[in-house]
Amino acid sequence: MKALDLVRDAAARIGGETPRLDAELIVAHALGISREALLLGNPEASAEAAEPFIARRAAGEPVAYILGRQEFWSLDLEVGPGILVPRGDTETLIAAAQGLFPADVALRVLDLGTGSGALALAALAEWPRANALATDVSDTALAVAAWNAERLGFSARCQFLKADWAEGVEGRFSLILSNPPYIGEDEATGPGVREYEPHGALFAGPDGLDAYRRIVPALPALLAADGAAILEIGWKQAEAVLALGHEAGLGGAVERDLAGRDRAVVFRRIASVF
């Protein structure tokens, strides 16, 4: 059968928010070609070869796990089970940092809870003179992040440390980035998220704020005098996270994502001007 006919049938089975896109990516993956080649060429396709991948997506498994990769800030990152899938919303943190630091400065970057390495590596791509330290408590995450750094040519500028957030981290940093878990234990998630992605990277206590209660008090000792810490938040958490920063002696501002929702808090020392 033709590839686009297979895509149509797969999309009907997959459902969800982006069934057509998911089906295009999965069928292209099964054929060993790019999505663009699939759409432009509409080659012959084997339904049998694509079936295992379609069935996995229909069962709710994230597309990124099926493909083994996810794009973030134009970087092709390898991901897999045990690694949080990088989301486009998290690019809000890099965009916010762009408004604070010119591209030619030699930033010292700290990425707390690096996962796939997405934030640290995006920062290194954006600031060619930067160096980064990325922490994670997961050996799986650190191995994948280190491999992504090597694949993308950033190994010489990125160090990895097994640490529970900032424990054991020394020195001060120009830019601190983190996408901590912020979902309450009983909150609803999208299909397949709770079932497939790492629990510790998603959920943070009853109100989703447990990680911030550990990260935010550590920031004053880690921030350089003119530095900034940018933390991703749930869209209803800005007020609570800003309050934690105020208690730690930090001033905060909220950044919104492309959909207009509160997505990140930017912390600086009280004397700093936003």
Mean pLDDT of the chain: 95
Strands 108-112 and 131-136: parallel
Q: What are phi and psi of 40, to 5 degrees?
A: -85, -35
User: pLDDT band at residue 246, thresholds of 50, 70 and 90?
Assistant: very high
Residue 179 CA to residue 112 CA, distance in Å, equals 8
Supply the pTM of this predicted model. 0.93
Domain parsing of the chain, residue ranges: 3-59, 73-269
In the chain, the largest separation of any two C-alpha atoms, in whole Å, equals 65
Residue 162 CA to residue 157 CA, distance in Å, equals 17
- Would you call 11 helix, strand, or coil by DSSP? helix
- Would you call 96 helix, strand, or coil by DSSP? helix
- pLDDT for position 271: 65
Assess if CATH 3.40.50.150 describes domain 73-269.
yes
Assess if CATH 1.10.10.10 describes domain 3-59.
no
The 10 Å CB-count burial string (b at 16+, else e) for 89-103 is bbbbbbbbbeebbee
Given a cut of 80, whether residue 274 has pLDDT beyond it is no
Write out pLDDT tens, residues 176-212. 999 999 999 888 888 788 889 999 999 999 999 999 9
